[in-house]
Structure 1
Amino acid sequence: MKKTFLTLSAAISLSMGVSTPALAQQSAVTNAILNQRTGLLDKARVDIDKAIVNEKTSNKAKTWYTRGEIYQAMLESPIYSKNLQPGEGLQKSYESYGKTIELDTKTGEFGKQAVVKMESLYGQAFNDAVNSYNAKDYDKAIANYKLASQIKPQDTTAVLYSAYASEAKQDFAGARASYNQLLAMNYKSVNLYSRLLQMAKQEKNEAEAAKVVGQALVAYPGNKSFMLEDLNMSLASGKGEDALGKINKSIAADPNNSNLYAVRGSMYDQQKKGDLALADYRKAIELDPNNFDAQFNLGVYNYNRAADSYTKASKMDLKTYQTSGKKFESEGKKFFEASVPYFEKALLLQPDDRNTLSSLQKVYFRLGRTADSERLNSKLQSLNKK
């Protein structure tokens, strides 16, 4: 009878609600949820932080999901967000939802909800990054862009903007790492290679610049800017023939590429081979009348010929000028006139290009087209004030 009495006493004790450690911890999760629902996020946080470190509840998807919701709610609250350290709300929410998915998979009861919550966290992280960037808090911007990238590893936008933020704080190593991360994600853009090249130039790292140009030309073999960079590097290193060989090879492979002829024309110009340059510029325009560089350089070619003629006339003594001067001035005027349609077409293609505006303004002046000259001069002054 004594044994039966003890057994009954134990049963009575349990029925009267004497708690066990396991039940207490389950209660902590329940209390966290109740406090969250009633808006008492500070108390909910205390409860869930206890549950998350207890071995009885720390391996439950529900516990981690609840933690994510509480920290996300605090992050979004103008009151409770002040109780969080910078970046703490986003980081702990992300960590919690990630653990939920790990424990419950993406198809489980809480896992499915965590996936949706992750999507909203991406937007919060990205927006916080943008706001931090605009406030010139580049370190915080980079941290949030990286978190956004963790949330959506396949997304390239956050990685790209992280590179911009690193550049803004002159952290070229960080920017280069982000740009290279994009390349590894099969993201390509002319601007990406241009930024890598610009950084290499700022650091005066010729080897890195050459490497970037090589990569850029593999991705964009017909890009005029990269070809010019490659050619200029060859010329700067005393490899003029090597540069010419490169461009000739490119033209043989792509004979209808207007940009290639414009580039080779520029090369011939640098080498003082005017006739060859002229032929290439004309070929470039034949293939593409909207090739700005070819149009502008043809204008410059005629402008320079005109200037040479006038210079020769101005250097003559009186006797020589009386017999030959007018001839050279007449020749100069013809070259100025010949330059006009090329400069005008170039200006049509790029209306705010200062070099074109300045050159055409001078030509108009020399040809006595005063109104046109003054019009372009006014536009130049307006652009210079911006």
Structure 2
Amino acid sequence: MRKLITLMCAILISSMSYAQKNEIKALEKALKSNNFAAAKTSVASADALIGNMDDKTKAKFYFLKAQALYASGAGTNDDISKAIKSLDDLKDLESKVGKLKYTEEANTIKASMLQNFLQRADKALTNKNYLIASKNFETAYKLSPKDTTYLYYAASTAVNAQDYETSLAQYLQLKNMGYTGIKTNYLATNKETGVEENFSDKKTRDIAIVSKTYINPRVELSKSKSAEIIKNIALIYVAQNENEKAIAAMADARKENPNDLGLILSEANVQLKMGNRDKFKDLMEIATTMDPENAELQFNLGALAAEGGNVDSAKKYYKKAIELDPNYADAYTNMAVAILNGELAIVEEMNGLGSSSADNERYDTLLEKRKGLYSEAIPFLEKALELNKTNVEAARTLMNIYSTLGETDKFKAMKAKVAELDAKASGN
């Protein structure tokens, strides 16, 4: 009886071995003819037998399975993920048994796949097809997990595609792994052009220095992307009405980096988006203390003060922004708007006056006050238009002011300018 059982087991094992070989042969044949549909069918059949394969057969199957599912790049996202796993399983198996028969070829295939998906991602990015770009960058990361920048690109492009669920998961993954995106840039100045250039690595840069075509070698670290990642996590939470999670994300980040100006500004933006204007103002004032030479911070505080009706404070901030950056066109525009903000009250009072001597006298006083506002605003509007020659609103406001002041020549010139800008805007 024992002999009979042994014989039956031997027959069963032999039958299984024969079936495995047949399926793998069919898989190889289908791959040779690029019949990926047939190859995938053979993969499914062979998968059912994998538990009984020896290591040598299993390694070969993993190798062929990956090619079948990848289908020269035509496989579905799910199939390609399985193909990548199959190549990883192959490398793990051969590393374990100490026989690297297919590992080198597997590495070559993975490198080819990586380049393929990066090219697809770049093409999709060029065409502004952000969803496709994101999926390809994600696949590139799966192929090369050490290159975490690919995951960052996947998350960023997913945001552009408004695929917030995907981007949030990827940003959280980046945050949890401590990704900063900081890299070392190897720089040198081209002697001929005088332009500083960034080299791919230190060795290439050093060769350029030795050739004497480049000078002034230096090393520079790129900026951290941590603040941007935290900000985007928070903004996605805000978009999902998860405001508490948004603020918590910012709070955690600032605990670790209390002096990170980027994080303070990011939290300020989130607070503003949530409608917490007082908190926004507090954070912006902290930021201006940390970076008092930042014109944009002063401008933002000015805009916030103006929106809150505090015109004097708005002027103070705009003035500071202009002092820090004399070419800040928007600061000149907003300063003029703040100045002219007082015109409405003057006009309303003028319209409410009667015809008595006292009223006529008050009217003349108000008229001079109004002209004073115009005279104060004109230099800022002229400078705004000088810095931004397409600023039609500044041009139109100047045209109206010149008309009111009776400055005919300036009025005509500005009227022509407005007509020109309107024509360009309408495509005529």
**TM-score, normalization: structure 2?**
0.62
The CA distance in 1 between the partners of 2:276 and 2:37, in whole Å, is 68
> Is 1:285–1:291's contact at 8 Å kept on the other side of the alignment?
yes
Which residue type is aligned with residue 296 of structure 2? N
Q: Is the 8 A contact 1:266 1:277 kept in 2?
A: yes
Shift of 1:286: 1.0
**Structure 1 pair 88–361 and aligned structure 2 pair: CA distance change class (3 A):** same
Letter paired with 2:393: S
Which of 9, 14, 36 is equivalent to 2:31?
A: 36
**What is the match of residue 3 of structure 1?**
none
How far apart, CA to CA, are the structure 1 residues paired with 2:300 and 2:371? 28
Distance 1:124 1:308, change over 3 A: same
- Deviation, 1:101, is 1.7
Partner of 1:322: 360
Q: Is the CA contact (8 Å cut-off) linking 1:340 and 1:360 kept in structure 2?
A: no
Q: CA deviation at 1:214?
A: 5.1
SS of aligned partner of 2:341: helix
Does the CA-based 8 Å contact 1:230-1:243 persist in structure 2? yes
Provide the C-alpha distance between the structure 1 equivalents of 2:395 and 2:112, rounded to a whole number of angstroms.
Answer: 55
Shift of the 159–254 alpha-carbon distance from structure 1 to 2, 3 Å rule, reads: closer
User: How many positions carry a matched residue from both structures?
Assistant: 350
When residues 224 and 269 of structure 1 are mapped into structure 2, their CA distance, relative to the original with a 3 A threshold, is farther
Aligned-residue RMSD, C-alpha: 4.6
CA deviations over 1:261-292 (Å, ceiling 9, x no partner): 33443454455544443233222211122334
| Contact persistence 2:130–2:161 (CA under 8 A) | no
Is 1:103 the counterpart of 2:100? The answer is no
Identify which of 120, 141, 149 aligns with 1:156.
Answer: 149
1:64 and 1:100 in contact (8 A); partners too: yes
Moved more, 150-159 or 214-223: 214-223
Q: Do the aligned residues in 1 keep the contact of 2:130 with 2:158 (CA within 8 Å)? A: no
Q: Partners of 2:36 and 2:274 in 1: how far apart?
A: 62
Q: Does 1:295 align with 2:332?
A: yes
Q: Label 1:341 to 1:320 Cα distance change in 2 as closer, same or farther (>3 A).
A: same
Number of the residue aligned with 1:363: 398
For structure 2, list consecutive stretches of 5 or more residues without a partner in the other structure.
Answer: 1-13, 182-224, 404-410
Distance 2:99 2:323 in 1: 61
Encode CA deviations 1:40-60: one digit per residue, 9 max, x unaligned. 555655656555534335654
Cα distance in 2 between the residues matched to 1:244 and 1:46: 63
Structure 2 residue 311 is matched with structure 1 residue 304 = no
Q: What is the CA distance between 1:221 and its match in structure 2? A: 3.9
C-alpha change, 1:257 and 1:146, in structure 2 (3 Å) is: closer
Q: Are residues 1:183 and 2:225 paired? A: no
- Residues in 2 aligned to 1:191 and 1:102: alpha-carbon distance in whole angstroms: 36
**2:353 & 2:17 partners in 1: Cα distance?**
108
Residue of 290, 296, 300 corresponding to 1:259: 296
Equivalent AA in structure 1 for residue 334 of structure 2? N
Distance 2:426 2:239 in 1: 25
Change (3 A) 1:40 1:313: closer
1:367 partner SS:
helix
CA spacing shift, 1:304–1:26, aligned 2, 3 Å:
same
> Residues 220, 91 of structure 1: CA spacing in aligned structure 2 closer, same or farther, 3 A cutoff?
same
Picking from 118, 129, 133, the partner of 2:110 is 118
Q: State the alpha-carbon separation in 2 of the partners of residues 376 and 230 from structure 1.
A: 38
Deviation at 1:306, TM superposition (A): 4.2
Amino acid at match of 2:87: Y
- The answer (yes or no) to whether the contact 1:163–1:178 under 8 Å persists in 2 is no
Which residue type is aligned with residue 186 of structure 1? Answer: T
| Residue 358 of structure 1, CA deviation | 2.9
State the partner residue of 2:370.
332
Q: How far is the alpha carbon of 1:96 from its aligned partner?
A: 2.2
How far apart are the structure 1 equivalents of 2:19 and 2:273? 75
Identity %: 18
Whole-Å Cα distance in 2 between the matches of residues 269 and 199 of structure 1? 28
Q: 1:119 to 1:292 in 2, by over 3 A?
A: farther
State which structure, 1 or 2, has the greater radius of gyration over its C-alpha atoms. 1
CA distance in 2, matches of 1:265, 1:216: 27
Letter in 1 for 2:318: Y
The 1:28/1:199 distance shift into structure 2, 3 A limit, reads closer
Look up the SS of the partner of 1:104 in the other structure. helix
Q: Secondary structure of 1:255's partner?
A: coil
Which piece of structure 1 moves more, 324-333 or 41-50? 41-50
Are residue 56 (structure 1) and residue 50 (structure 2) matched? no
Distance 1:321 1:339 in 2: 27
Q: Compute the displacement of 1:376 (Å).
A: 3.5
The structure with the greater share of residues assigned to helix is 1
1:93 to 77, 83, 87: 83
Listed as ranges, the gaps of 5+ residues in structure 1 are 1-18
Asked if the contact 1:160–1:178 (Cα under 8 Å) also holds between the matched residues in 2, the reply is no
Contact conserved, 2:395 with 2:414, CA < 8 A, in 1?
Answer: no
Alignment CA distance shift 1:181-1:228 (3 Å): closer
Instruction: Give the CA deviation at 1:332.
Output: 2.2
Match of 2:11 in 1: none
Residue 137 of structure 1 and its aligned partner are, at CA, apart by 11
Read off the aligned partner of 1:102 and give its amino acid letter.
D
